[in-house]
């Protein structure tokens, strides 16, 4: 008989690799308290509870505790029960799903929208299905696209080309080198979540037009947050009509859960009919769909939260820059402070939590390139002057304590 394989030892090796590189992920166990965002309770490993302020959430506008969203969810649970009871095809399509899809199609000025259980699945399922719809499809993908897009492009059996981040000339070169007769699709994001920079959407669309390519945008970090009705950067810049497929989430700006694409009726019909990630999974719980629809509808007319969100981000950036911290600022709502190595980043994050009750998760490779490990702060309308003060003082204190470099003081 062969030597038995020691599976446990293999698992240990895999985990030890992560520990060795200082990028083993630990999840902080927290309980958010409705009505008190961004305050939460940390269930510490020693069994005690401590109050904390969450500074790394993606519930960008605090919609997760919005009264209209919660009322819609309560109402749907009382009316229809907990789950949907099936896949979309087999008894899992309800009035709540249809209503939400109509709300999303309208949001982006498209004929139709298609719901998925998350934006991750929406990206993965759609991008991996497109080559079935357009045989010979070549996908041109921005180098910093989200893991869900990479995954969809990687295992779709079609051809892929990676263009340098936001480099439209590189994209043009790649398209020019390919068969003019081949179907093509350019995939990119509107807001890149780790640097908080914007994609050159108009220029990318111009290049796509030049080569007869379809366009696909991930607006996950923009929907609800940018544009007069929350339709994202493409709405703000009047470019939605130039995008063939818009992807968004209901979990970040909208504060609930779920993902979608918005596109032509024919495109949605084809993806609906061919994407395993849409077909073979239970549809969203009706209460989730109801809450998401209420959130989307609310943010179509409310401007206050969007404005406050941008203001809080500006204030935090100004104050951290005032301390000379190495901040990336592309004018979006995301505030990344570069620390530059995984161990320091983890240590800073631990000290912020333990000494100051400030929770910000360290961001390491492979989420960001090595050497750019960072703390990524996400201010929101619920982060008031008191919370900002506390964070700024804590960062100042710890930056000195850890003897980290500061940038040249600038105005
Ligand atoms: C978070 C994220 C997703 C996935 O969204 P979920 O709805 O949480 O699955 C997709 N794209 C980008 C850029 C993201 O940051």
Q: How far is CA 315 from CA 380, 394, 403, 410, in A?
A: 11, 16, 25, 16
pLDDT in tens, 265-300: 999 999 999 999 999 999 999 999 999 999 999 999
pLDDT in tens, 381-409: 999 999 999 999 999 999 998 878 887 54
Q: Which atom of ligand 1 is nearest to the CA of 189?
A: 13
pLDDT of amino acid 107: 98
How far is the centre of ligand 1, averaged over its atoms, from the C-alpha of 65 (Å)?
20
Catalytic, out of 252, 300, 317, 346: 252
Ligand 1 and 216: CB distance under 6 A: no
pLDDT of amino acid 408: 56
Q: How far apart are CA 226 and CA 244, in angstroms?
A: 19
What percent of the chain is predicted at pLDDT more than 70? 99
CB 141 within 8 A of CB 150: yes
Ligand 1 and 146: CB distance under 6 A: yes
Interior CA angle at 332 toward 330 and 334, to 5°?
Answer: 100
CB 169 within 8 A of CB 207: no
Ligand 1 and 193: CB distance under 6 A: yes
Asked whether the predicted pLDDT for residue 45 surpasses 70, the reply is yes
Peptide bond into 226 cis (omega under 30): no
pLDDT of amino acid 409: 47
- As given in the structure block, the two tokens for residue 50 are 């401590």
Asked whether the predicted pLDDT for residue 411 surpasses 50, the reply is no
Asked whether the predicted pLDDT for residue 410 surpasses 50, the reply is no
Ligand 1 and 172: CB distance under 6 A: no
Ligand 1 and 126: CB distance under 6 A: no
> What does the pLDDT average to over 210-235?
98
How far is the centre of ligand 1, averaged over its atoms, from the C-alpha of 60 (Å)?
13
- As given in the structure block, the two tokens for residue 384 are 């008031």
pLDDT in tens, 94-135: 999 999 999 999 999 999 999 999 999 999 999 999 999 999
Of residues 346 and 265, the one with the higher pLDDT is 265
How far is the centre of ligand 1, averaged over its atoms, from the C-alpha of 312 (Å)?
23
Q: How far apart are CA 122 and CA 271, in angstroms?
A: 10
Largest CA distance in the chain: 73
Ligand 1 and 120: CB distance under 6 A: yes
- Give the chain's mean pLDDT: 95
Annotated catalytic, 252? yes
How far is the centre of ligand 1, averaged over its atoms, from the C-alpha of 149 (Å)?
9
pLDDT in tens, 16-33: 999 988 778 889 999 999
What percent of the chain is predicted at pLDDT more than 90? 90
Kindly tell me the burial class for residue 50, based on how many C-beta atoms sit within 10 Å of its own C-beta (0-12, 13-18, 19 or more): middle
Nearest residue to 187 (alpha-carbon basis) of 239, 146, 230? 146
How far is the centre of ligand 1, averaged over its atoms, from the C-alpha of 90 (Å)?
27
């Amino acid at each position: 008989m062969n030597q038995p394989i020691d599976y446990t030892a293999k698992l240990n090796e895999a985990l030890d690799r992560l520990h060795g590189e200082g990028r083993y992920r630990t999840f902080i166990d927290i309980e958010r308290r409705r009505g008190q965002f961004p305050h939460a309770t940390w269930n510490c490993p020693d069994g005690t509870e401590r109050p904390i302020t969450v500074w790394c959430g993606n519930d960008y506008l605090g919609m997760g505790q919005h009264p209209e969203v919660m009322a819609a969810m309560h109402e749907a649970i009382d009316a229809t029960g907990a789950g949907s009871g099936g896949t979309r095809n087999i008894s899992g399509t309800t009035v709540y799903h249809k209503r939400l899809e109509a709300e999303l199609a309208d949001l982006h000025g498209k004929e139709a929208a298609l719901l998925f259980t998350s934006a991750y699945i929406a990206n993965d399922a759609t991008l991996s299905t497109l080559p079935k719809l357009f045989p010979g499809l070549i996908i041109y993908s921005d180098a910093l696209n989200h893991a869900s897009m990479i995954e969809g492009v990687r295992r779709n059996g079609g051809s892929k080309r990676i263009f340098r981040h936001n480099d439209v000339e590189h994209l043009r070169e790649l398209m020019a080198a390919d068969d003019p007769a081949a179907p093509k699709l350019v995939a990119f994001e509107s807001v890149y979540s780790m640097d908080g920079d914007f994609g050159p959407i108009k220029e990318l669309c111009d290049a796509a037009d030049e080569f007869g390519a379809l366009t696909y945008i991930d607006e996950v970090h923009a929907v609800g947050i940018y544009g007069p009705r929350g339709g994202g950067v493409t709405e703000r810049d009047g470019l939605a009509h130039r995008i063939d497929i818009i992807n968004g989430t209901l979990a970040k700006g909208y504060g609930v859960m779920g993902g979608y694409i918005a596109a032509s009726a024919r495109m949605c019909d084809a993806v609906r009919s061919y994407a395993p990630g849409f077909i073979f999974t239970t549809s969203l719980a009706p209460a989730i769909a109801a809450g998401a629809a209420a959130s989307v509808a609310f943010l179509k007319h409310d401007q206050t939260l969007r404005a406050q969100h941008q203001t809080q981000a500006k204030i935090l950036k100004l104050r951290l820059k005032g301390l000379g911290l190495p901040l990336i600022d592309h004018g979006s709502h995301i505030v990344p402070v570069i620390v530059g190595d995984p161990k320091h980043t983890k240590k800073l994050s631990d000290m912020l939590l333990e000494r100051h009750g400030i929770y910000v998760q360290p961001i390491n490779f492979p989420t960001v390139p090595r050497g750019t490990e960072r703390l990524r702060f996400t201010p929101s309308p619920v982060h008031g002057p008191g919370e900002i003060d506390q964070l700024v003082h804590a960062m100042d204190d710890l930056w000195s304590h850890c003897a980290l470099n500061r940038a040249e003081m600038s105005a």
